[in-house]
Structure 1
Amino acid sequence: MARHADVLFVTALAMMAASPGQAAERQQISIAPGRLGEAVIALGRQTGASIGMSDQSLAGVATPAVEGRLSVEAALKRLVKGSGASIRRIDATTWRIVRTPAVVREQPRARIAQPAPQAAPEPAEIIVTASKRDTPLPRYAGMVDVVGDDAFTAGEAAGGTASLIFRVASLSSTHAGTGRNKLFIRAIADSGVAGPTQATTGQYLGDMRLNYAAPDPDLRLYDMQGVEVLEGPQGTLYGAGSLGGIVRMIPNAPNLVRAGGQVSAGLSATQHGDPGGDLAATINLPVVTEKIALRIVGYGVQDGGYIDDVLRDRHDVNRIRTYGGRAALRFAPDENWTIDLTGVFQRIEGDDAQYAAKAIGDLKRASAVAQPYSSDYALANLRVERQWDDLRFVSSTGFVRNILTESYDATPYEMAGADAPAALFRQRNKVDIFSTENRIVRDLDNGLGWILGASYLESTSDIQRSLTSYGTALMQPQVIPGVPMYGRGMAATSTGVHNRIREATLFGEASFEPMRGLIATVGGRLTNSRLTGEVLDPIALLSLAAIARAEAQANRSETIFLPSFSLLTDALPGTTVYARFQQGFRPGGLAVDDQHIQRFRNDRASTVELGFRRGIPGIDPVAVTGNVAYTRWRDIQADVTDRIGIPTTANIGDGRIYTVEGRVAVRPASRLTLDGSIIYNDSRLSRPAQFLRLLSYEGQSLSLPNVANWGGRVGFDYRAPMGGDMRLQLSGSARYVGKSRLGVGPILGREQGDYVDTALSAALTHGTVQWSLSLTNLLDSSGNRFSLGTPFDLSGDYVTPLRPRTVRLGLDFAF
């Protein structure tokens, strides 16, 4: 039986901010006598190289002092001389130390390192860092998408989450607007309406949680080392809010040795719409060489509008401006300690909503009033890591504030017209998250080992609402019972809600090998949740007794245990087969509208899946991955709308989901890669709640919303040298999104989806300068990404079209 002999022992991973030729440059190197593991850490920090070790026992080999102005290759040769080990070059900045003369079967390296343009690289291991135990991909029991180093061009980085969705077939979104979308993985989707319930997909920046009871903050993807998407519930390691899976963004860390950076700029033109542009800069500054470094990213993006409002005689109303930045300070007092302090800020300003009315035109609608929105996002995180050989301690503590302000046209649609008195409903959701996690991890032989940790999270959500009417106070129609219509642009307060959740957690997971070629992993998470809820600014129609009763029900404590189990075998050469069981949950809370106050219960999803993978994408001539999953989802929480149109949350019943996925990557030549993926979801609300049975047809089984039954993607990537230091890259892809429904039941049951999105790009690199040209939506298809316009008019034929055909010309310069 073939064995996976390589064990990843990442001893240095310095982020690149200089040209690929740095590995061959001579640099001043000073390494004291010691052990090989410590020596390569120091060498990586001094040179910016990434150095892996195939056999962990080599880390304890004694090494001599290395002094002088040397290349990375020369320094490594001195370190391994006489040790029984040799070095292998992976690419321009990546090396591996292997024991000789053993012959091993290579595996891909973490986060998909870029191939050197002049020759095909040696395979390097892909590491699933989101497993929190740096698990090699062949020994990870589950479906994972790894978008690795240099995978996002500047144009894609400017697109944020939309660029990631285009690449990952199992990831979908509501498309309500940048910074206000919900993300879904597989078919774990509750609804497209924005209410107080927690997200079904967990999002992380490194080890820091990005969201809780709020939509995707849609951070731009500049200066990212990679993104990992884990599919299926991840309750054991990530706790509440990971029912569908997690998205983990990995930013480039400060380089302790080398100063440098990059500037990128782009201009775009959208057919039928306004022009746009993007500008970004990254700079890396070592403050104290090998000890302290600062890395700063700043950006600004403008997406031109393309929707016309015929009632207000406005063109291209849905322009969006995004600006923000990220700063990271790294302090490494010695080779065992790493301390990172990170701050993030981003603001999104949308001039108007991006939906159209099908009866008027593909890119037109008639609204009585503009519907602007904004998103302010801020994050601070402190991460401390301590390493002892194969044992490490990680502590991550941080705070997030996310303020999303939305507005909806609340003009009574039966009175819509040039002289109708306009009304605007506003909702402001302020979410604060404090979280801390402390864990001890032991990485043993090739995916074996254990993790033990504790965490605490406190999240508060304040949803405040108001209704503003225009025109005169006379003849104002009632929009929300109990909320006055003052007219003349005066706002009246509508009922809001405050929810607070405190979670204290213990979790653990261990992998062991009961027999040769079989790995078993068991884990569990014990969480105690304390929940409180209260009504904000209740209207006079609400009974004080009803408010007190609902708040008393919302204030409670819950203790939940989430088990996990998996089996994996690599007994067949080059093939991994696995079975996995995992659970996820979301705590309950308090939801209100202007008619009722109610508590919604926690929900829980349990998934059983079987899968296999054979071959290494980008390395082997053919690589294939397949997966079949069954999910049972109980007491589903869903953000819905009442009969008036106000967002609220309710338990809509139990559901079940079947998912089948397949992926293939073909490498017919060293310079060309072809890939394809397909996903099928069969989701049903198998036991609808009573209020849905009354609305539906004889209680028939209903589909879960927002996720297409079919989806798929095909793409190609071609890279070739052009002579000298010039390189050419061509890439293209097409993604099909099948039919889905906006929500559950006949009121929100309108169809959406069933469109193809396309993209094509070319880039020419000359030294440190790169010119790029990209085209999106080549067919200029309108499609329908999302069928919700304003929730106050659910009978309208609203659609959210794709951005029309867009061309972007970009320039990138590294220094």
Structure 2
Amino acid sequence: MPRGIKGLCIAALIAAAPAEAAERQEISIAPGRLGDAIIALGKATDSSIGTSDPWLADLSVRGVKGRLSVGQALSRLLSGTGAKAERIDDTNWRIVRAPRARAIARAPAAQNAPALPAEEGPGEDIIVTASKREVPIGQFAGTVEIVDTSAFGGADAAGGTSALIARVASLSSTYAGAGRNKLFIRAIADSGFAGPTQATTGQYLGDMRLNYAAPDPDLRLYDMAAVEVLEGPQGTLYGAGSLGGIIRLVPNAPNLTDFGGQVGAGLSLTQHGAAGGDVSGTLNIPLVAGKLGLRAVGYANTDGGYIDDVLRNKNDVNRTNVEGGRVALRFAPDDDWTIDLSGLYQRIEGDDAQYASKSIGRLKRESPFAQNYASNYSLANARIEKRWDDISFVSTTGIVRHRLAERYDATQDNRPPELYFQRNRTELFSTENRLSRDLHDGLGWLIGVSYLNNRSSITRTLGPPGLPTPSTGVRNRLSEWTGFAEASVQPVEALVMTLGGRVTSSRLSGSATDLAPEPLFSFADVAMAEAQANRRETIFLPSASLLTNAIPGMTLFIRYQQGFRPGGLAVDDYHVTRFRNDRIATLEAGLRHGTPGYDRIALAASVAYTDWNNIQADLTDRRGLPTTTNIGDGRIYTVEGRVVLTPATGFSIDASMIYNGSLLSQPASYLRTLSYEGRSLSLPNVANLGGRLSANYRAMLNNGDVLSLSGSARYVGKSRLGVGPIFGREQGDYVDTSLSGNWTRGPVRFSIDVTNLLDLSGNRFALGTPFDLESDEYTPMRPRTVRAGVEFRF
């Protein structure tokens, strides 16, 4: 039978005796063609399910069984196919092509069919998979932003974390160099220095944790389905190190039915600097059709330098090279089991530091030697999922190995040149096993257990080049057992209440390394600090939220959540000291209306109050060496909002802003003297104001080609490097602008991107070397850069 006739036949499916569509029934649909599956589902439920699109009828779908409503059964059948179900009335449904943003929102599900071309269409609830349940965004009580990477070009993927920072107003970073930065969400920022503290922002690849006591690995964003940013503490579901929120990268899963891939390349030219380039490739191979598939990604990037060192008479010294790749193997033996094995490796090499000196000239500095660095990052992960009806079990286990080596100019005034070398080694093992049940309208529950073991060490040398002297370092170890649970119920109509909690039992230990007979060094102090660091403790983190959709088209929520970071050992002025746990609690209220890009007006807003106790912060001691201490208690007020206008098909305007009011309300005793003349101390690296404005246009031409244009401007407000006048150097207060365009003809896409359109030299980070906090060193924005690229899909 011709395809067109088959499609029309499916459109005229059974209209049986009326039945309540939302009623749950025993359903058993075998895997196969979508057309056959919806005919069987219609007969089983006395519903009419149709489509007039013959392409959809031949989609391959996994089977579904259990006691389900028609909507739940369709949702499972269509998961990962690029199609969606629209409810017409109580007994009638229509299958249509889904906008790409909806398909990627469920990216972790099996992808047994090719993705459909992006089309405009009515909005459907995006699924917040970072909730660890399939919670629609309209039922998610919290501030979340899902970055649709279908709009990413080669420049965005090659940009890594910087591409996310350019799009999410609440996300910020230090700028010490790719692979050694610290990421912050909202105003939950401790300091710009790198020490043994755990990150305030949790980072994940799928369900696998990426970092612990280490900086942002800055993975390139090739072949990503979506990126989810959850704001505010996420202690119940994600535990320690999620004080500010989490960033979850969602990679495309292997396609089990179709061979394909993509190759791309780009050339970039930086004004006042050197050229750069990038190449990438993705390959998908179905090894056993419908059951076993392999997906591999490889890439290499070079960002040309633009800083000149006048002392050494070298130009464009700060070039950065990145190379890496990912591989994923998916095995789906039947409808209920999915097994994923994955691994990645990435190496970043920075030829020199990223900072300049204002007094010497724009994009210039002078230093006696190169301050290069290297980051090596590797990960291996196994994920197993089993489904029974509306219940699922997920087990994720993996290991991370991260090595970061850095060199700094430690030369002091009127003294011979000295070089500081630091090596940070981190090894992380984590496993999580959880059971969850997803009901309608975001209701359901989950319960899980996890274990984490992290070992980190910092070794250091300081002295003339070629004659390094070991300096005391530290080694910290943490093992953590956790049980967590969360449940969402509906006590009254249109009101969803969610309660959760996490109990963590930790064993912490720390020790000093490379002990040297330095002045003022006390072995008794070392023994006492180590005794304090070796301990066990149990922490309970509660969470609660209320959400209502009582106002049509509007979601209102209020949420309370806590988070924490464990303590450890640090070295301060030749002394080994202990820093204590810090803990955070946030109360926020917010609203959402509409779906960005699909409704004429979509808006989101929230206001939050955060109380932060025993704040851990990486600072420097009197010698300039990085150290860690507790700086006191703080509080933060946050107000943020986003409005997306879509006045015409294919055209949208996106505006967002965030305001942070921070204060170190109870400084530690040694900091109180810095509050001179009654001046209050603000928290470090917290921009008081930020915002972003963008315009996007997409159109399909008469010949089928697709043209996309976008432009954006992002403002980063003022902040300070650290606490008090010594570290109080101002940074920020600049505007970053960009333009991009791409033209897609068949399998080929040509693109051109311009960043820092105005060629400004804003101060992104007021730190060059931690051994010089008095000069005018700063980290400038990358000058105007133009990239031209091409991508070919097959």
- TM-score (norm. length: structure 2): 0.90
Cα displacement string for residues 17-40 of structure 1 (whole angstroms, at most 9, x for unaligned residues): xxxxx99999xxxxxxxx997648
Distance 1:691 1:25 in 2: 78
Report the Cα distance in structure 2 between the residues aligned to 1:145 and 1:663, rounded to whole angstroms.
10
- What does residue 631 of structure 2 align with? 652
Q: Are the equivalent residues in 2 in contact too, given 1:679–1:710 (CA < 8 A)?
A: yes
Counterparts of residues 770-789 of structure 1 (less than 5 Å): 770-789=749-768
Partner of residue 31, structure 1: none
Partner residue of 1:519 out of 466, 489, 496? 496
Cα deviations by residue, 1:70-90 (Å, 9 ceiling, x for unpaired):
84325799x99xx99999999
Q: Would the aligned equivalents of 1:713 and 1:734 in 2 still touch at CA under 8 Å? A: yes
**How far off is 1:695 after superposition?**
3.2
2:477 matched to 1:508? Answer: no
Q: Which residue of 2 aligns with 1:535?
A: 512
* 2:85 aligned partner: 97
Instruction: Show the counterpart of 1:478.
Output: none
Amino acid at match of 2:396: S
Q: Give how far 1:766 is off.
A: 0.4
Counterpart of 1:109 in structure 2: which amino acid?
Answer: R
RMSD: 3.0
Aligned match of 1:109: 102
Cα pair 1:640 1:650 within 8 Å, conserved? yes
- Letter of the structure 2 residue corresponding to residue 395 of structure 1: S
1:143 corresponds to 2:138: no
Distance (Å, rounded) in 2 between the aligned partners of 1:445 and 1:795: 59
Partner of 1:307: 307
Q: Residues 706 and 25 of structure 1: is their aligned pair in 2 closer, same or farther, counting only changes over 3 Å?
A: farther
- Corresponding residue number in structure 2 for 1:175: 175
**Residues 498, 84 of structure 1: CA spacing in aligned structure 2 closer, same or farther, 3 A cutoff?**
closer
SS at match of 2:155: helix
Counterpart in 1 of 2:525?
A: 546
Residue 699 of structure 1: CA displacement? 6.2
Shift of 1:113: 9.6
Asked whether the 8 Å contact 1:24–1:73 carries over to 2, the reply is: no
For residues 564-596 of structure 1, give each alpha carbon's deviation from its aligned partner in whole angstroms, at most 9, with x where no partner exists: 000000000000110000000000111114521
Q: How far, CA to CA, are the matches of 1:24 and 1:770 in structure 2? A: 34
User: Are the structure 2 counterparts of residues 36 and 335 from structure 1 closer, same or farther at C-alpha, using a change threshold of 3 Å?
Assistant: farther
Distance 1:24 1:407 in 2: 69
Specify the code of the residue in structure 2 equivalent to 1:528: S
Within the candidate set 725, 735, 750, 2:704 is matched to 725
> Which residue does the alignment assign to 2:611?
632
1:678 counterpart residue number: 657
Residue 409 of structure 1 and its aligned partner are, at CA, apart by 0.2
Distance 2:732 2:447 in 1: 43
- Per-residue CA deviations over 1:192-228 (Å, capped at 9, x if unaligned) read 0000000000000000000000100000000000000
- Matched to 1:183, the amino acid is L
Distance 1:576 1:215 in 2: 35
Amino acid at match of 1:248: R
Please state whether the residue corresponding to 1:242 is helix, strand or coil.
coil
Matched, 1:466 2:461: yes
The 1:710–1:433 alpha-carbon spacing in structure 2 relative to 1, beyond 3 Å, is same
Matched residue SS, 2:166 = helix
Q: How does 1:209-248 map to 2 (within 5 A)?
A: 209-248=209-248
2:667 aligns with 688
> Aligned with 1:490: secondary structure?
coil
CA deviation profile, 1:311-346 (whole Å, cap 9, x unmatched)? 111100000000000000011111100000010100
CA distance in 2, matches of 1:544, 1:460: 23
Indicate if the aligned counterparts of 1:149 and 1:225 stay in contact, CA closer than 8 A.
yes
C-alpha change, 1:529 and 1:62, in structure 2 (3 Å) is farther
Is contact 1:688–1:699 with CA below 8 Å preserved after alignment?
no
Map of 1:195 onto structure 2: 195
* Counterpart residue number, 1:397: 397
**In 2: Cα distance, 1:725 partner to 1:580 partner:** 46
- Counterpart in the other structure of 2:128: 128
Cα separation, 2, equivalents of 1:722 and 1:158: 28
CA distance 1:263–1:150, change in 2 (3 Å):
same
Q: 1:448 to 1:742 in 2, by over 3 A?
A: same
**Aligned-partner Cα distance in 2 for 1:393–1:738:** 44
Tell me which residue corresponds to 1:457.
452
Does the C-alpha gap of structure 1 residues 796 and 23 become closer, same or farther in structure 2, counting only changes over 3 Å?
A: farther
Q: Confirm whether residue 813 of structure 1 aligns to residue 789 of structure 2.
A: no
Distance 1:237 1:802 in 2: 36
Structure 1 gaps of 5+ residues are: 1-21, 27-34, 64-69, 471-488
> Structure 1 residue 694: deviation in Å?
2.5
Matched position secondary structure for 1:109: helix
The residue that corresponds to 1:570 in the other structure is 549
Residues of 2 paired with 1:725 and 1:766: CA distance? Answer: 7
State the partner residue of 2:57: 73
Deviation digits for residues 605-625 of structure 1, max 9, x if unmatched? 100001001111111100111
1:387 aligned counterpart, secondary structure: strand
CA–CA distance in 2 between the matches of 1:310 and 1:294? 50
Q: Quick one: which amino acid aligns to residue 620 of structure 1?
A: D
Alpha-carbon deviation of 1:94?
2.2
- 1:125 Cα deviation (Å)? 2.2
Tell me the secondary structure at the aligned position of residue 123 of structure 2: coil
CA shift in 2, pair 1:446/1:681, >3 Å: same
Distance 1:663 1:60, change over 3 A: farther
- By how many angstroms is 1:149 displaced? 4.4
Asked whether 1:496 is paired with 2:473, we answer yes
Contiguous gaps of at least 5 residues in structure 2: 8-24, 48-53, 108-114
Per the alignment, in what secondary structure is the counterpart of residue 190 of structure 2?
A: coil
Alignment of 1:55-454 (within 5 A): 61=45, 71-73=55-57, 94-98=82-86, 101-102=89-90, 109=102, 111=104, 120-412=120-412, 414-415=413-414, 421-454=416-449
Structure-2 change in CA distance of 1:84 and 1:537 (3 Å): closer
Aligned residues: 747
Deviations 1:426-472 (A, max 9, x none): 100000000000000100111000000000000010100012404xx
Write the distance in 1 (CA, Å) between the matches of 2:497 and 2:642: 25
- SS of the aligned residue for 2:707 comes to strand
Classify 1:100/1:775 alpha carbon distance in 2 versus 1 (closer, same or farther; 3 Å): closer
Q: Indicate how the Cα distance of structure 1 residues 698 and 548 shifts in structure 2: closer, same or farther if over 3 A, else same.
A: farther
Q: Distance in 2 between matches of 1:199 and 1:537?
A: 25
1:25, 1:71 within 8 Å by CA — same for their partners in 2?
no
Matches within 5 A, 1:477-492: 489-492=466-469
1:322 and 1:60, CA in 2 relative to 1: closer, same or farther beyond 3 A? farther
Instruction: Give 1:97 deviation, angstroms.
Output: 3.5
- 1:9-20 equivalences in 2 (<5 Å): none
My pick for the range that moved more, 420-429 or 320-329, is: 420-429
Change (3 A) 1:92 1:720: farther
| Residues 573 and 623 in structure 2, CA contact (< 8 A), matched pair in contact too | no
Q: Is 1:611 equivalent to 2:593 in the alignment?
A: no
Return the letter of the residue paired with 1:181: N
**Which residue in the other structure is 1:480 paired with?**
none
Give a deviation string over 1:618-659, Cα, whole Å, max 9, x none. 111001111000000000000011111100100000000000
Distance in 1 of aligned mates of 2:140 and 2:543: 14
CA contact (8 A) 1:622 1:665 kept: yes
Return the alpha-carbon distance in structure 1 between the equivalents of residues 758 and 56 of structure 2.
48
Distance 1:100 1:163, change over 3 A: closer
The C-alpha deviation readout for 1:255-294, integer Å capped at 9, x for no partner, is: 1110100001000000000000000000000111111111
- Residue 58 of structure 1 and its aligned partner are, at CA, apart by 7.9
Check whether the contact 1:200–1:244 (CA below 8 A) recurs between aligned residues: yes
Residues in 1 aligned to 2:42 and 2:371: alpha-carbon distance in whole angstroms: 62
Report the secondary structure of 2:763's partner residue: coil
In 2, are the aligned partners of 1:23 and 1:72 still within 8 Å (CA)? Answer: no
Aligned to 2:647: 668
Q: Secondary structure of the residue that 1:233 maps to in structure 2?
A: coil
